[in-house]
Amino acid sequence: MNLFEFVTMPRIIFGNGSIQQVGSLAAEFGERVLIVSGKSQDRLMKLLEILQHQELEVFVFPVTGEPTVEDIRAGVLFAREKLCDVVLGFGGGSALDASKAIAVLYPNEGDIYDYLEVIGKGKSLSGPGLPLITVPTTAGTGAEVTRNAVIGAPDRRVKVSLRSSVMLAKIALIDPQLTHSAPPEVTARTGMDTLSQLVEPFISNQSNWMTDIFCREGMRRVKNSISKAYHSGGDLLAREDMAFASLLSGLALTNAKLGVVHGFASVIGGVYPAPHGAVCARLLPPVVTANLKALQERGEDGLTLEKFSEMARILTGDDHARPMDGVEWMERLVQVLRIPPLSSFGLREADFPQLVEKAMVASSTKGNPVVLTPDEMRNILIQAL
């Protein structure tokens, strides 16, 4: 706990209306801008107006779903053909992940498989990519400040990461007003992703004093505002809280790792058409329960168990809350937000053995506070089904 490293990008800009700065910020890096965007055309048109007012030449590469290997290859080729000077990621986690991958692979030789974890060669990137500005339009993934990109390989039915410190953006610009038009179901899923990315680093075996500060503050803001943002999308304070909590979750997970929730989510997302945030939401309560039970049964130190109690006190607002009170709060929240069970996305018990096998060796799982057995992992899926 006394020795840790904290890594982040050079500049973070946060606040309502901050999107108006994006033109002058992009101009600092060049004149030819590649926008890697998500689905929202209305917000994209406003962004284009700001950039064109700065007399920048703009090219748009849309990513309509979670990015795949082929998406990234096509994006890199497009950026090279247009001789882009700077990449601007604009959208949800998928668009931001794609922007990070395209920006970093632009000058690096070889194919994306040379650098991917698990299914690729896992080579180190030889150097930094194009200057990158990340602008999230949802409050969920924290991808604007992370140093990895999650990329799908549909032919192998898996999602893996491209990961390097050189993938950190030059500037992350978070304008909560951009999240106001997110529909309730998106607000719910991304908000639960944020919560899982605050809980897991907090109890991670890689947590440290600095990330704990971010997790505590982030969990408090989610507790106060996720339901308000879901039921009333125009609630300014709730949207600010969730955008800031998402930012804090990205800073935390980058420096303290995650756990079994995301270990499973990366595997499940590669096999089924299941939204990442919904998967995390359904897995979070049973994973926390399994971890707590395993730690107690194996006689782990009290410091780790105390974090479960602290988490429960933050989420419930009750100074006397016990760990399972926190789990029950999460379970009620999942119901309030109408997150469907994993069976609704096609998950079947027949697939459990392969899901457990892959999740146990996933990168995120290495941050779990305790090593779970295959039976314990299987029981998590049963509870989330």
Set out the domains of the chain in order of their start, with CATH numbers: 11-179 (3.40.50.1970), 184-384 (1.20.1090.10)
Q: Report whether pLDDT(2) > 80.
A: no
Residue 234 pLDDT level (bands cut at 50, 70, 90): very high
Q: What is the mean pLDDT of the chain?
A: 93
- State percent of the chain over pLDDT 90: 80
Q: Hey, which residues does 74 pair with through a beta bridge?
A: none
**CA 280 – CA 287 distance, rounded (Å):** 10
**CA 124 – CA 167 distance, rounded (Å):** 11
DSSP 8-class letter at 56: -
Q: With CA atoms as reference, report the closest residue to 93 among 275, 255, 254.
A: 275
Q: What is the dihedral of CA 314, 316, 319, 323, to 10 degrees?
A: -80
- Complete DSSP assignment for 193-253: HHHHHHHHHHHSTT--HHHHHHHHHHHHHHHHHHHHHHH-TT-HHHHHHHHHHHHHHHHHH
Q: Report whether pLDDT(183) > 70.
A: yes
Q: Report whether pLDDT(356) > 80.
A: yes
